[in-house]
Structure 1
C-alpha cells in the first residue's frame, strides 16, 4: 500500500471520496431545481474527473481553452461549451471537431467579432453555435441586459452564414468577493434577473434563445431562485478550497485538494518553518485573505489526517520555498526537518494548474494517478 506521506514532494493530492461527495451534492442541488449541470472543467482539466462529474448528467461540459476542448473531445465528450470570448484565429483547430459529431458552442459579446466569426466559420464550411455573453454585475465581459448591443450581436449571430444564436451566458465571478452567504444570495438573484431579462429581450425581438446559462460555484450553491435558467456551469465545487470555505459555500470536510510538502528547514531566529512547496506548487493566489487576514497562501495541515495545524499558514512564498510563521514553539519538535505536511490551497483552480497530475487518495491509500491537461 502506498500512503500519501510516501509520495515525493511537492505532490498534488485528490481525495476521491470527498470529490465524489461534492459532485453528488451539486448534482442533487441542480436536479432539485430542474437545471442541467454543465460542469466547468477548467478547474480539474482531467478526463477522469470529467467522467465522474458528468455521470448521471446530460454529458455537456464547459472548457476555457482550445487545448481543453480538443483534449476532452479526444476522450469522447461530444457537447462542449468554450466559455471564453472567441476570435476567428481560434476556429480552425475547432472546426474539424464538428465533422466528428462534437457540438462546440462558442461565446462572444462583440458585434465586430460576431461578424468576423460568422464569416470565418462560413469560409471554413462549418456553422458554430454561439452564446451571447451577458454582464450581470461582474464587469469582466459581456453586454448589459438592457443594452442595444444585445440585440445587435444577437441578430448578427442569428443571421450570419456561419453561426447559430444558441442563447445567453453569464458568469457571476464577483460572487467570489462576497463576504457572506447572504451577499452571495443577492448576487445570485441579480445574476438570474439580468440573464433572464436578456433572454426575454432576445425572444421578444424574434431571436432564438434556447439556452440560458449561469455559472459560478457560490451562486450555484447559495442561490434560492433559478427560474428561467436552463443550465449551470460551476467548476471549483468539485474540489472546493479555503476561499470557498471562508465564503461559507462549503465545510472543511469538503476540501478535496491538497499539496503534500516536506519540511526542509527551521529558521528559528526568524520564527519560520520552511517547506518545499513554494509559488510554483501552491501559486501566489491570496484570495482567501479578503475574508481572513494573514491566512497567506494556504492552510498547513497534518499530512496523515489533513486536519489543520492550529495557527500555521504558508505566510510567504518564493519560487520553491514556502515559509510558515511559527507562533507555537512546540511546532519545532512536532514538525522536524524531513517531516511532511499538507497544504489546503486558497484557490484550487490555480494550485491544481501548477501540477501535471493528481495522486488520487482513497481512505488513506494512493490508488491512482490522473493526468491533467495543460496548454491553451
Structure 2
C-alpha cells in the first residue's frame, strides 16, 4: 500500500509510524532502566499493532478500559490483561469467558459491597478472579485513600471471598493532567508513589498479600524521579501524544504521532473563517488543551508535512464542520484554497481516535498501511 495524502478520503486518522515507534521506545527504555514493567494502557490506541510496539522489551502485559478491548487483545496474543475500570457483577460472565479462553485477567474494585457482589457472581460462574484494590492518591475519581480504614476493609472483603484473590493495589494520578511542567508533575508522581507504597505496606503488615503495586499516567511515567516500590506503570497516551500533553509538559510538539487529515471545504470572508470537513465527530469536542494554550480551540492546524501553521487553530466545530481561525483575524485564504488539505493535531488523542475504525499509517508523508482498532464496549 502506498497512497498519497492528497487522494485519501477525509476526514482520516493519520498515524506517523516513526514518531509512534520513537515514543514507544523512549517509554520502554525508561521503565526498563528503572527495573519495573511497562503495562501500557491501550484505551488510547485500541490497536494490536500499536500494542506490539508498546510492549516490546517488557512482559507483554497490557491494560484495557473495556471488556471488548480485552477480547480483541486476547485474540491478538496478549493474555496478561488488567481491566482498569471498577468491576461490577453484571460483567462477570464476560470476564469469566475471557479467562476460560486463556486470559490472565486482573480486575479492580474499591468497596466492600463490590467485593461481596463480585465474589458471589464469580462463585456462581465457578470462576476465580484476581483483584486489585483501587486507590485515590489525589485524582478524586475513584478509589480508597491509602491511609484509610476502607483500604483494609476492602482488602479483607476480597480475601473473605473464596472466588476472589487479592493481587495488590493500583492507582491513576489523573490530577497530573492539570500540572504545568516537570516540577509539578514530579511532585504528583511522588504523591502517587508514596500513596501506593503506604497502602502496600499496610496490607503486608496486616498479613495480606500485595504482589502488584501499579501506578499509571503518562505525565507521571515521564517525569517521576523514583519508581522504587512499584512493580509496574500503566501510561497510555504517550504512544500518540497530543496538544494537551504538550501543554502539560509530557512531550514536545514533534512527539505528536496522531493527526486528523481534513479538506478545506469553504472560505467565509464575512466571519473570517476557513471551513474544513473535520468537525466535532472527526476531532471530538474535547477542549482540554485550552487549559494551557489561549488559541488552540479544538486542535492546531498543520500543513501536510505535519508542521504547525503559525497561528491557525480550529476555533469551533459543528457536527461535520471545523472552523479555522487565527487570533489576529488574518487567514491564508490563498495558500489554503478550497480542496486543499491540512492536518490537525488533536487536543486529546484518545477521544479523537475513538471516532475511527482504523489508522492510516504514514511514513515520509505517504500512507503505507492500515491498522485496525477496536471500538465499543
- TM bucket normalised to smaller: over 0.9
- In 2, Cα distance between equivalents of 1:329 and 1:337: 17
State the 1:294 CA deviation: 2.5
2:276 aligns to what? 275
2:124 aligned with 1:102, yes or no? no
Is the aligned partner of 1:306 residue 2:306?
A: yes
The alignment partner of 2:270 has SS state of coil
Partner of 1:126: 127
What is the number of equivalent residue pairs in this alignment?
375
| Separation of aligned partners in 2, 1:31 and 1:170 | 20
CA distance in 1, matches of 2:120, 2:309: 58
Q: Which residue of 2 aligns with 1:372?
A: 373
2-structure distance, mates of 1:8, 1:220: 36
Query: Structure 1: which 5+ runs fail to align?
Result: none
Structure 1 residue 330 displacement after superposition: 6.0
Conserved? CA contact 2:49–2:371, under 8 Å = yes
Matching residue of 1:206? 207
Gaps in structure 2 of 5+ consecutive residues: none
1:316 matched residue in structure 2 = 316
Cα separation, 2, equivalents of 1:253 and 1:280 = 25
Query: In 1, are the aligned partners of 2:10 and 2:277 still within 8 Å (CA)?
Result: yes
Output one character per residue of 1:195-225: Cα deviation in whole Å (capped at 9) or x when no partner: 1100100000000000000000000001101
1:48 partnered with 2:49: yes
- Specify the SS of the correspondent of 2:342: strand
Aligned partner of 2:336 in structure 1 is 335
- CA shift, 1:192, in A, is 0.4
Equivalent residue, structure 2, for 1:184: 185
8 Å Cα contact 1:5/1:260 also seen in 2: no
Q: Which residue of structure 2 lines up, in the alignment, with residue 18 of structure 1?
A: 19
* Per-residue CA distance 1:225-244 (angstroms, 9 max, x = gap): 11101100000000011111
Relative to 1, partners in 2 of residues 1:203 and 1:368: Cα closer, same or farther, differing over 3 Å? same
Take 1:55 and 1:214, find their aligned partners in 2: how far apart are those partners?
Answer: 19
What does residue 170 of structure 1 align with? 171
Shift of 1:307: 0.3
User: Do the aligned residues in 2 keep the contact of 1:119 with 1:161 (CA within 8 Å)?
Assistant: no
SS state at 1:92 partner? helix
SS at match of 2:151: helix
Pairing 1:68-83 to 2, within 5 Å after superposition: 68-83=69-84
Residue 295 of structure 2: SS of its match in structure 1? coil
* Alignment deviations for residues 129-162 of structure 1 (CA, whole Å, 9 cap, x no partner): 0000000000100000111110011011123111
Post-superposition Cα deviations, 1:57-79, rounded to whole Å, max 9, x if no partner, equal 10100000111111111112110
1:236 aligns with 2:241: no
Q: Is 1:111 aligned with 2:112?
A: yes
1:356 aligns with 2:357: yes
CA RMSD of aligned residues (A): 1.0
Distance of 2:255 and 2:52 partners within structure 1: 20
Deviation, 1:300, is 0.2
Task: Give, in angstroms, the shift of residue 328 of structure 1.
Answer: 6.1
Provide TM-score, normalisation by structure 1.
0.98
TM-score, length basis structure 2: 0.98
Q: Distance in 2 between matches of 1:371 and 1:226?
A: 33
